[in-house]
Structure 1
Amino acid sequence: MSGSLQRRLYRKLGVYLIVLHLLTYDVTVAGEGVAWSLQTNPAVFGKDIVLECKLPSSTCCDRYTRRWLGGKNLHLLIMDGTSSEPDKYSELFDKETRSSKLTIHRLDSKDVNIPYQCIYGFSKDVKILNMTEDRFEYYPVEPIYVNITVDNGNVLQVNAALKPVFPQPKCNASIDEGDISQSLRVSKIMKDLFYEVIIHIRYTFTSSICANLLNITCQIGTFMLEIKRNITCRSDSPVNGEHRNRKNMQEYSNVT
């Protein structure tokens, strides 16, 4: 074999070994991988949430481009800190902790139940940001509609609407210090991603006191909603009449 041919073979072999090394290295990097997770708990609609991606320790942090993709078509959101929509997406990068944090501003229904992908070089992690009842919350819009009636003076009926709301609220009710939760019923329907909830109370007064404070409390995930209303019996109610008679009898006793 001539010397020139041998040198050409050595050069080709050298190139092959370099390419093989790079491919093997990149496979190792891809195997180490990146991983993102939702950091905000609870994730409240209308507020900002943060997704954090951890980059590989072996190649972090300047060798490759950092990218965040999102949506059904996985379009580009962030590349090396530059946002495609600055008002909606921003990145905070910490080289020491190998952390890329994607902030989604003013979370809305279009931001959930879609895939997000964190990419660094040949490593990537893609998964769905699932809207689950243990992590996501939506509080009802104020003012809350409440309708209160007192039939025949001693039957209280209350209807209150909470919408939209998520997760499904757990509600209790009281009048002054007395628990009337056994008289409370909750009905719900699912509209798009959120619940529309109607609270109904039917309660019969057994006390002669007609001016009372109604308090409805609803636990919505980590948030406690309170609805307080003053209720008064009708002037022609039997209970109100009983209250007036007792008062008149007391006044008569004092006179005599």
Structure 2
Amino acid sequence: MLLPNSNQKWLTTCKTLSLLVLVAIDLSSGSVSWSLTTKPAVFGNDIELRCNLDNDTSLNGSRHWSKGDNVKVLVVNGKTVNDTKYSEELDKAKRTSILTITSLDTGDVNVPYTCQHGFQTYKKVLNMTVENFEYHPDKTNASFNQEDDHVLFAMKFEKVFPVPTCKASYGDQNITNLLNISSVLEDVFYKVEINLKYHHISKECIHHPFELDCCVGTKTIKQRFETANDVCLEMTPELKTDEKPNESEKDQTLGTVGQVVFGIVFLIYCVIFPLTFAYIKYNNKY
């Protein structure tokens, strides 16, 4: 069925206008762009996404931040749907729209965010990369033991990102090559186990510190343990018998000696001398 000429012209005009609108929107999509400005982005802390507006973009246009493929609106012209999680500020001098995400969690990463200003939009996934994101463990499970001439160390991170880089030392010896680090990715974080077994032999009593430094992005986690070899353990009873008396024992000893000396002097002058003098006087009389 053929349409009247007027209807065909109207349909053609509508198609042309629609195409022009789509082309205009498509061409304008590159005039705004956003990027992560908080580096490193640490889980549990606030982060910022900064949307840059080019010089041709009007600052009076409607501003939107949205999240996800289904376009979940977060902020419209500074008004947020969840003020405890999101906030937005327009810096006209720098021509930027700044989205603040409070207390970064796993639901905030690896999803697309869209910055829209008027008809101009920019959509990108906030990828959780090793270079920009960190999760610092709140606690570590570490154990240290000595068996015979072996140092045994084990430590576990239940959740961490990225995988730690570690170095170990025993005294002045670098024993990093003896570290065994295994990791398993669970959701977006890693579960990491670190183990070390070091055999040390010495004929002398030597106390060496065992030290382990693990870097999780920008944070360093330190472990330090004092060690003693079997020779030290065998010498421990002898060391106790050779200990010098402390100051209180010295004072007590000196006090006892002083009392004995005083008693002897008292006995000589107050008892022996008078008796001797009386005995001599008695003999001279008779």
Distance 1:32 1:188, change over 3 A: closer
The residue number in structure 2 matching 1:33 is: 31
- Distance in 1, matches of 2:191 and 2:172, equals 28
Deviations 1:76-106 (A, max 9, x none): 1111111111111111210111100111111
Asked if 1:71 corresponds to 2:64, the answer is: no
- Distance in 1, matches of 2:69 and 2:26, equals 29
Alignment check: 8 A CA contact 2:32 2:122 kept:
yes
CA apart distance, 1:215: 1.3
The residue number in structure 2 matching 1:137 is: 134
The residue number in structure 2 matching 1:116 is: 113
> Please, which of 66, 77, 80 is the counterpart of residue 77 of structure 2?
80
CA apart distance, 1:28: 9.3
The residue number in structure 1 matching 2:156 is: 161
> Please, which of 205, 209, 215 is the counterpart of residue 211 of structure 2?
215
- Distance in 2, matches of 1:155 and 1:175, equals 12
CA apart distance, 1:158: 0.7
Distance 1:96 1:33, change over 3 A: same
Deviations 1:31-72 (A, max 9, x none): 65210111111111111111100123223211x210100134
Alignment check: 8 A CA contact 1:29 1:59 kept:
no
Larger helix proportion of the pair: 2
The residue number in structure 1 matching 2:233 is: 240
Larger radius of gyration: 2
Alignment check: 8 A CA contact 2:211 2:225 kept:
yes
Alignment check: 8 A CA contact 2:31 2:57 kept:
no
Letter in 2 for 1:163: E
- Distance in 2, matches of 1:47 and 1:114, equals 18
2:94 aligned counterpart, secondary structure: coil
- Distance in 1, matches of 2:106 and 2:29, equals 34
The residue number in structure 2 matching 1:198 is: 193
Letter in 2 for 1:189: V
Question: Could you say what the CA RMSD is over the residues aligned between the two structures, in angstroms?
Answer: 2.9
Distance 1:206 1:121, change over 3 A: same
Asked if 1:150 corresponds to 2:146, the answer is: yes
- Distance in 2, matches of 1:209 and 1:193, equals 47
CA apart distance, 1:220: 1.7
The residue number in structure 1 matching 2:88 is: 91
2:45 aligned counterpart, secondary structure: coil
Q: Which runs of 5+ in 2 are unaligned?
A: 1-16, 244-286
Larger strand proportion of the pair: 1
CA apart distance, 1:230: 3.1
The residue number in structure 1 matching 2:221 is: 225
Q: Which runs of 5+ in 1 are unaligned?
A: 1-18, 252-256
Distance 1:229 1:87, change over 3 A: farther
The residue number in structure 2 matching 1:175 is: 170
More contact order relative to length (CA 8 Å, sep ≥ 6): 1
- TM-score, normalization: structure 2? 0.70
- Runs of 4+ more than 4 Å apart: 22-29, 243-248
CA apart distance, 1:245: 9.2
1:110 aligned counterpart, secondary structure: helix
Asked if 1:103 corresponds to 2:100, the answer is: yes
Letter in 1 for 2:82: E
Alignment check: 8 A CA contact 2:31 2:120 kept:
yes
Distance 1:209 1:173, change over 3 A: farther
Letter in 2 for 1:155: H
Alignment check: 8 A CA contact 2:135 2:161 kept:
yes
The residue number in structure 1 matching 2:56 is: 58
- TM-score, normalization: structure 1? 0.78
1:30 aligned counterpart, secondary structure: helix
Letter in 2 for 1:240: L
- Distance in 2, matches of 1:131 and 1:25, equals 33
